[in-house]
Structure 1
Amino acid sequence: MADTTPLTVIGGGLAGLVTAITSAESGAPVTLHESHRDPGGRARTATGDSPYKTNEGPHALYSRGPLWTWLQQRDLVGPASAVPLSAAARTRFHRDGSLHRMPPLPVMRLGRRDPQQAPVEEDFFSWAAALVGERHARFAANAAGVALFHHDPGILSARFVQERLHRVLAMPPEAKYPVGGWSSVVDGLVGRARSLGVRIETSSRVTPSGLAEAAGRGPVVVATSLAAARTLLGDDSLTWESGRTALLDLGLRARRGDAFIVSDLDAPGWVERFTAQDRTLAPAGEHLVQAQFPIGEGESKAVGIARGERLLDLGMPGWRDRVTYRSEALAAGRTGALDLPGTTWRDRPAIDRGNGIYLAGDQVAAPGLLAEVSFNSALEAASLAMRAPRIRTARPLDLNRA
């Protein structure tokens, strides 16, 4: 550990924690600054005085992705549940104004297509319509909405949407749910970081002058939202397409027959009863429902919530009389990168910003589904920082472990 250069990580969400852990595993001294009282970022599970454990919108880990493997290798997943068969049987798809047990067969066939067959330059709707017709192309675009948080997924790059549709409709389902919410994963990451000697400073907001001071000592990884990084670095080029989504959390008195999932195919939207796979998220005898409904630039949160309530009327009859808890929010520019036709993840803001400063997060130049973008960018940022000329580590960074 002698003659090493310190690494500073700004942001204690998933990207920041993975960056810190990966760098510390290579012997680098790491200090992580988190502006909030607790690490976790959008992976935190909110509780406070409430008996309900809610994530910031519907959350799941995808078991065929690199993040799941990395967590497993470090024994950081903890107990996690798959979708139980009894719950899967209660999945419903909303189309043409009513609920159905299965998505249309052309949508399922489209979802099985290799994403490499989809063109980058063409929008998804045009490409899919040529294969399955306009009606089913619209259903397919909206089915992918659970991983896009965008009000009109059909206008996005065909390759980008197909990559997500392919995984969303995969059988058996990839989704895995950490018992107790994502806070269990965050707690494991924080514990791992501290055991490696990472210094975690909470309620620590770094200013542009503080960033410059840290960069004078060694490499800095900015693992914040792209908007926060833009302000911190004073770099107006740090922008990328993202979505706007109305979020609705509900505690409901339990009722037999409630749907597990309602996927809206008439418009992008998703309702999920999370207590179907983890009863610890709500008091006994209650359901915890989390839902998201993307809205356009000129639309209010109320528009999305109203559409969600109509979906709930179909999937969970009588829900209005059973509400024990309710919370609404708007996620704007906080739902990950979206690639328009002609662009891929490689066109997003570069991880290496020069002068020993690197970016990590879910809107930068890294591949993956949802949180996997943060994870992959964190690995790349850590690797670049470790190779910076001024830093010598006790042992080389081993990315093969990921």
Structure 2
Amino acid sequence: MRRPHITVIGGGFAGLTAAISSAEGGATVTLHEAHRALGGRARTADRPYRTNEGPHALYNGGPHWTWLKQRGLLKPLAPLPLLPATRIRFHRNGVLRRIPPAGLLKLRGRRRAPVDQDFFTWAASQVGEAAARAAAHYIGVATFHHDPGSLSAAFVQERLRRATALPPEARYIRGGWGELITRMADQARVLGVRVETGARVDALPEDGPVIVATQLESARALLKDDRLRWESARTALLDVALRSRHGDLFAVSGLDFPGWVERFTTADRSLAPYGEELLQCQAGIGPGENRADGIARAERLLDAGFPRWRERATWRRDALALGRTGAVDLPGTTWRDRPSVDRGDGVYLAGDQVAAPGVLSEVSFSSALEASTLALRSVGIAGAGGPAPAPAHGPARLRAS
């Protein structure tokens, strides 16, 4: 019997997850990616500075961790930095501090925050306005938002718990996220997925289920569905390379305003040439601000944490991220209110602004697995997303794009 066919549009983390899961379920799969390289927001720049699109980390407490591990896609991981190399400082009231306000950590242990109240109002009632403001700004690292305090209290508290978990959940892919994308693409091809890059899709195919794993704006245009909208964030990104110097910090968290600086070569020396350090910074920007405003805030954190960094700089690049920073939930909304995965007529949606639970990349993963499961069921195949079948041989190792 001819196996059913599933089309996946988009070759980022969500698209590759959906393609692998669909192929494991028994379907033939074709994946279309408009760009010449796979990866989407998970692409890693070519050498000499292997930057991601903003600071990236993989939380080992999420559902994708086990799924990737079962398929041998996680390793090699960069080793976790050990003290004192992992020195993190908190920029508060214009100076660096070694520890955050006590109230910030207290909020993560409180009973579940309400959905219909903004985080700042709820947090201020628990620990006071100063600590609530610091906590809201701190979680800019996991929301990319200019004002996390205005978001749903339940949404922000979940991210606060994950971002301050002990031991830390954050892990790093050696060589950048592009290495993970390469291994996932290898796995997809081993399973028989037909991967077509430089293949923009302007109309849905007529045969078989379709999984649209693109940015929500692109999905809205492709599906001609104006309902595909959700709140996201505008974020200024600044990447800099500095000549190495003993004693540099690992990270600086902004508590006076949402911002984050991380020295990624602390964990992975392969990301920059010998003798240089790679730092990636982010700062959310409001509706009335521009990229320069966010870059100025990122530079304030660099000034505080890496004195005279401009004299050591060997390279820099800045960018503005629009609609590429994942969903944010306003008061009164949860992930269940976002655009649904099942769009009807055999069309399914995956991505980081879709109705699926999780933090950061976990939303893309969870929605992709749900889309794959529904697509397989629509063609009479039950079950998807379980342990990987034992392969006859491991996927070939390819150079990262």
TM-score (norm 1): 0.95
Q: Which residue of 2 aligns with 1:356?
A: 346
State yes or no: 1:163 paired with 2:158. Answer: yes
**How far apart in 1 are the matches of 2:85 and 2:171?**
13
Q: Which residue of 1 aligns with 2:387?
A: 401
Q: Which residue of 2 aligns with 1:217?
A: 207
Summarize deviations over 1:251-307 as a string: whole Å, max 9, x none: 110111221100001110000000000000001110000010000011110001011
Alignment partner of 2:83: what SS? helix
**How far apart in 1 are the matches of 2:107 and 2:281?**
25
Summarize deviations over 1:166-212 as a string: whole Å, max 9, x none: 0101111110001101111001100000000000000000002xx1x
Q: Which residue of 2 aligns with 1:64?
A: 61
Identify which of 309, 319, 323 aligns with 1:329: 319
Q: AA paired with 1:164? A: R
**How far apart in 1 are the matches of 2:241 and 2:109?**
35
Q: Which residue of 2 aligns with 1:199?
A: 194
Q: AA paired with 1:334? A: R
Identify which of 261, 276, 280 aligns with 1:290: 280
Q: CA deviation at 1:104?
A: 1.0
Q: AA paired with 1:235? A: D
Q: Which residue of 1 aligns with 2:303?
A: 313
Identify which of 131, 136, 161 aligns with 1:136: 131
Q: AA paired with 1:346? A: R
Alignment partner of 2:327: what SS? coil
Summarize deviations over 1:51-98 as a string: whole Å, max 9, x none: 110100000000111111111010001111353123554210011110
Alignment partner of 1:68: what SS? helix
**How far apart in 2 are the matches of 1:126 and 1:368?**
24
Q: Which residue of 2 aligns with 1:342?
A: 332
Unaligned runs of 5+ in 1: none
2:79, 2:268 within 8 Å by CA — same for their partners in 1?
no
Q: AA paired with 1:373? A: V
Q: AA paired with 2:155? A: F
Alignment partner of 1:7: what SS? strand
Number of residues of Structure 1 aligned to a counterpart in Structure 2: 388
Higher mean C-alpha deviation, range 105-114 or range 179-188: 105-114
**How far apart in 2 are the matches of 1:244 and 1:278?**
28
Q: AA paired with 2:56? A: H
Q: Which residue of 2 aligns with 1:230?
A: 220
Higher mean C-alpha deviation, range 96-105 or range 371-380: 96-105
**How far apart in 1 are the matches of 2:87 and 2:327?**
31
2:85, 2:266 within 8 Å by CA — same for their partners in 1?
no
Identify which of 103, 117, 127 aligns with 1:106: 103
Alignment partner of 1:399: what SS? coil
Alignment partner of 2:15: what SS? helix
Distance 1:384 1:202, change over 3 A: same
Identity over aligned residues, as a percent? 62
Alignment partner of 2:91: what SS? strand
2:152, 2:330 within 8 Å by CA — same for their partners in 1?
yes
Q: AA paired with 1:401? A: P
State yes or no: 1:86 paired with 2:76. Answer: no
TM-score (norm 2): 0.95
Q: Which residue of 2 aligns with 1:31?
A: 30
**How far apart in 2 are the matches of 1:282 and 1:269?**
23
2:372, 2:384 within 8 Å by CA — same for their partners in 1?
no
**How far apart in 2 are the matches of 1:311 and 1:26?**
48
Distance 1:128 1:24, change over 3 A: same
1:53, 1:180 within 8 Å by CA — same for their partners in 2?
yes
Q: Which residue of 1 aligns with 2:179?
A: 184
Q: CA deviation at 1:29?
A: 0.3
**How far apart in 2 are the matches of 1:20 and 1:296?**
36
Alignment partner of 1:324: what SS? strand
State yes or no: 1:145 paired with 2:140. Answer: yes
2:86, 2:251 within 8 Å by CA — same for their partners in 1?
no
RMSD across aligned positions (CA): 1.2
Q: Which residue of 2 aligns with 1:260?
A: 250
Alignment partner of 1:217: what SS? coil
Q: CA deviation at 1:131?
A: 0.3
Q: AA paired with 1:221? A: I
Q: AA paired with 1:355? A: D
**How far apart in 1 are the matches of 2:350 and 2:240?**
32
Q: Which residue of 1 aligns with 2:5?
A: 6
**How far apart in 2 are the matches of 1:83 and 1:109?**
26
Alignment partner of 1:401: what SS? coil
**How far apart in 1 are the matches of 2:79 and 2:367?**
27
**How far apart in 2 are the matches of 1:244 and 1:367?**
22
